[in-house]
Amino acid sequence: MAEKEIVYVISDSVGETAEIVVKAVASQFNGGHVDIRRNSYVEDTEDLEEAILLARKDHSLIAYTLVVPALKEYLDKRAAEEGITAIDLLNPLMDAFVKRFNKEPRHRPGLMRRLDEEYFRKVEAIEFAVKYDDGRDPRGIARADIVLIGVSRTSKTPLSMYLAHQRYKVANVPLVPEVAPPDEIFTLRRGKCVGLIITPDKLNAIRKERLKALGLTSQANYASYERILEELDYAEKIMKRVGCPVINVSNKAVEETASLILDVLKMERSSNR
């Protein structure tokens, strides 16, 4: 079996970008059988020198993503001296950005990784919102950044998901007269919990539409005025016990309510300092 070709990937960050590009190119040659040897978090010329000598010994080439100018210049110079092909994967495009957009790059390694971390935080928040939706597991209440409480159809789930996309971990708890709320909501510190209320007329209309979508009669107790008033009265009492701010979601878009939630919690936390 023929030995794999070797490519040294050098980066002053993780090196994932360079490795992905090398794999994409390698896939065009003999099924992509290439041995990628990554040298990550290169900080000085000593780190570069080690990779250069290995590449020379293996008759390999180097693909690199170096945003620190001094490291790039050193690698280009030494690779030329050793007769090694060194491919710069970032700077040609960076130069094009400078010329076209008239802006200078930061020359700071790891910025892409920070963007990735933001993405993973958002995914984690979304998974959290799904796991602790509708009071499924009260253990999430203590771990949440925000806890939403309210009767059914006050947009708790859509708000949880919207805020999750902004990287907030949100748990929501339905308030139902027949079911005691979890003890955890009464021990939350100020600035974490928000109560959601709605006018009886609006809730009645929403619940009727919900029943219609489910193929059920609109006369069900779920949408009756008497039931709705009972639930809203119960929810108000619970919110007073919790001592949380309350937002009326009637006729408000999810985006508007989410913004209000963040504003009132910010004020709550500020006044609690």
Q: Is the pLDDT of residue 109 over 80?
A: no
**Position 32: which residue type?**
G
Tens of pLDDT, residue by residue over 25-49, are 988 886 667 899 999 888 889 989 9
CA–CA separation, 229 vs 240, rounded Å?
A: 17
Is residue 264 within 8 A of residue 191, CB to CB? The reply is no
The pLDDT of residue 18 is 87
Q: What is the pTM of this model?
A: 0.62
Whether 157 has a binding-site annotation, put simply, is yes
Q: Of the ranges 15-19, 159-163, 268-272, which one carries the lowest mean pLDDT score?
A: 268-272
Per-residue confidence band for 269, with pLDDT thresholds at 50, 70 and 90: confident
The pLDDT of residue 256 is 96
Class of residue 56 by CB neighbours under 10 A (exposed 0-12, middle 13-18, buried 19+): middle
Whether 150 has a binding-site annotation, put simply, is yes
CA 66 to chain centroid, in Å, comes to 27
Q: Is the pLDDT of residue 272 over 80?
A: no
CA–CA separation, 232 vs 225, rounded Å?
A: 10
Whether 27 has a binding-site annotation, put simply, is no
Q: Is the pLDDT of residue 1 over 60?
A: no
List the domain boundaries for the chain: 5-109, 116-271
One fold for both 5-109 and 116-271? yes
Comparison of pLDDT for 171 and 17, the residue scoring more: 171
Reduce the DSSP state of residue 103 to 3 states and report it.
coil
Percent above pLDDT 90 for the chain: 64
Q: Is the pLDDT of residue 20 over 50?
A: yes
CA–CA separation, 99 vs 112, rounded Å?
A: 21
CA distances, 16 to each of 11, 98, 116, 258 (Å): 9, 24, 11, 35
The pLDDT of residue 49 is 93
**Position 24: which residue type?**
A
Whether 156 has a binding-site annotation, put simply, is yes
Whether 155 has a binding-site annotation, put simply, is yes
CA–CA separation, 203 vs 200, rounded Å?
A: 5
**Position 166: which residue type?**
Q
CA–CA separation, 188 vs 270, rounded Å?
A: 16
The pLDDT of residue 94 is 83
Tens of pLDDT, residue by residue over 207-255, are 999 898 888 876 778 999 999 999 999 999 999 999 999 999 999 999 9
Kind of pairing, strands 86-88 and 246-248? unpaired
Whether 13 has a binding-site annotation, put simply, is no
147 beta partners: 171, 193
Q: Which CATH class is domain 116-271?
A: alpha beta
User: Which of 268, 117, 246, 109 is closest to 191 using CA atoms?
Assistant: 268
Q: Is the pLDDT of residue 79 over 60?
A: yes
Tens of pLDDT, residue by residue over 43-59, are 889 989 999 999 999 99
Q: Name the maximum alpha-carbon separation found in the chain.
A: 86
The pLDDT of residue 107 is 67
CATH number listed for the domain at residues 5-109? 3.40.50
CA–CA separation, 265 vs 190, rounded Å?
A: 8
CA–CA separation, 237 vs 212, rounded Å?
A: 30
The pLDDT of residue 213 is 87
